[in-house]
Amino acid sequence: MSVHHSNPLPPHWDIFCTVVDNYGDIGVTWRLAKQLASEYGIPINLWVDDLLSFSHILPLLNPAKSQQEFNGVNIFHWENPIKIEYEAGAVIIEAFACELPSQVKSIIGQLHIQPDTQTPIWLNLEYLSAEKWVDGCHGLPSTQPNGVKKWFYFPGFSPKTGGLICETQLFKQRDQWQADPKHKLALFEQLGLQGINAQDRVISVFSYETPALTALCELWQASSTPIHALIPKGRSLHSLSSLLPCAIADLMPGQQFTLGNLTIHILPMTDQNDFDRLLWSCDFNIVRGEDSFLRAQWAAKPFIWHIYPQEDDYHLVKLQAFMQIYCDNLAPEIATTWSEVNSAFNCGDTNSVVMHWQQLNSVSLPLTHHAIKWPINALNDADLASRLVQFVNNC
Ligand SMILES: Cc1cn([C@H]2C[C@H](O)[C@@H](COP(=O)(O)OP(=O)(O)O[C@H]3O[C@@H](C)[C@H](O)[C@@H](O)[C@H]3O)O2)c(=O)[nH]c1=O
């Protein structure tokens, strides 16, 4: 008796990403694409609608090319309609509910009704949230108009979610980096930053606009010891125009401004590997959105999360949910201080952010210990890519 198999699809996975604004959507999908290719040997086609934005975090990318390869990932310029002949692979991921091209949807539908042919596994990769409801929604299917099930894949912090993006070797690489201060000094030099000594306090700033940042910089000016704030050209600087001697448009990476004991350094944008190393090299990181938020956690350093603002202040609910799990086994006085700094920064409360920042200084040692322990707890044994591959195998 012969066993009947349906024709397998080509083994590649397609990941579709639209760049809404900022770098988070492409930042997350690019990390995932790189990891699936390098750790699982999966051929990845990454379709991106805005290569110019992408090139800010992958400076070697040529925005004029319709197809190019980096880190074993095939990067396609996603034009609508798709100009390159499209062949569906085993898995199709739409990142953050971006609408798949109609050609792709109809090909999935056709494959579904053809006898003896596999249907691609179709997933929507959602935004990361620490809210409890994510446990119940991760992995649910929804039947689409073309008759095919689309699965909702939710990243998250609990074992019932889709996990968090984290490369297998990342913590080992970070530990090696942090074991020797010459690594951070070499990075600062490579980035064109001058005058930073090994014992100086260094804070990276990658936030949105907020008066809380202005207030913190004013406070740092009056610090009794040197503080360096490393800030890429972008949204954070819009909150500092009153402190800068020239227009933001005229700022150049490598420039620095001294205000009392605070030195503001203008950072170049780097690729994601150097951005990670930057976070590993600083004493404190102010990060935002989704990807830098997670990378600051993996850096094992204390941080402020400037969450992406949403309608009706819904982002404050998400912030609260994260703060609750981050502070779960933290002594109450440390938990309160750290949470108050984060809330004040996000609400633009200048008095409160200054007051709680000063209190944060007195708990900086136990907070750093917590930051070192946190990544292992947060991962819950399995990172996102490994849970995703498992999920697909079980579909
Ligand atoms: C400053 C810098 C950032 N980066 C990367 C790190 C991250 O992958 C990316 C920044 O992404 P995020 O931290 O997520 O912040 P963001 O504000 O750019 O992205 C946001 O975009 C919105 C549309 C989403 O809804 C938000 O959830 C969020 O993801 O840029 C570099 O690679 N090099 C750099 O020099």
At 1 the pLDDT is: 39
275 lines ligand 1 (CB under 6 A): yes
Cα separation, 197 vs 82, in Å, equals: 51
Each residue of 33-86: pLDDT tens digit? 999 999 999 999 999 999 999 999 999 999 999 999 999 999 999 998 888 889
User: 């006085």: which residue's tokens?
Assistant: 333
Atom of ligand 1 nearest to the CA of 30: 8
- Cα–Cα nearest to 183, from 96, 118, 277, 101: 277
Task: Tell me the domain boundaries of the chain.
Answer: 13-163+381-394, 170-379
The Cα angle at residue 354 between residues 352 and 355, in degrees rounded to 5: 65
* Centre of ligand 1 from the C-alpha of residue 54, in Å: 10
- Cα–Cα nearest to 11, from 66, 72, 92, 107: 92
Q: Are strands 201-205 and 227-232 parallel, antiparallel or unpaired?
A: parallel
Query: And the tokens for 345?
Result: 């920064």
Question: Which one of 34, 266, 286, 291 would you pick to mutate in the ligand 1 pocket, going by the greatest count of ligand atoms within 8 A of its CB?
Answer: 291
Which 8-state DSSP code applies to residue 381? T
Each residue of 210-235: pLDDT tens digit? 999 999 999 999 999 999 999 999 99
pLDDT of residue 18 exceeding 90, the answer is: yes
Q: How many CB atoms lie within 10 A of CB 376?
A: 11
Q: Are strands 73-77 and 67-70 parallel, antiparallel or unpaired?
A: antiparallel
Class of domain 170-379: alpha beta
Q: How many CB atoms lie within 10 A of CB 196?
A: 20
